[in-house]
Amino acid sequence: MKPYEQDWSDRSRDLANLFFLIGYLTLMLDHTKAGAGVYLVAECFLMPHSIRCRSWSTVAVSLVFTAASVARLLA
């Protein structure tokens, strides 16, 4: 059996998960602008994988959270 080889979209999803964790921790420490920025970076890493897999519900939710993060950064 051939082992699974990760490609760029798998690695971008892994990075997105790491950034979501960091963003959650910064939000829990009450650093809302930093947490929103980290979440925005995580969404940028998650979006290509979601589009590649045609996971349109994830794309829609990502757009909502991206808009919320941008709104928080601009507030």
Query: Are 5 and 38 spatial neighbours (Cβ–Cβ below 8 Å)?
Result: no
Tell whether 54 is covered by a domain. Answer: yes
Question: What are the phi and psi torsion angles at 39 (to 5°)?
Answer: -60, -40
Q: Is the pLDDT of residue 9 over 80?
A: no
Question: Domain range holding 65?
Answer: 32-75
Tell whether 25 is covered by a domain. Answer: no
Token code pair at residue 37: 């920025």
Span between the terminal Cα atoms of the chain, in Å? 53
Look at the chain and report how many structural domains it folds into.
1
Tell whether 1 is covered by a domain. Answer: no
Tell whether 7 is covered by a domain. Answer: no
Tell whether 47 is covered by a domain. Answer: yes
10-68 confidence digits (pLDDT tens) = 888 889 999 999 999 998 998 988 988 998 999 888 888 888 888 899 889 888 988 88
Tell whether 45 is covered by a domain. Answer: yes
Tell whether 57 is covered by a domain. Answer: yes
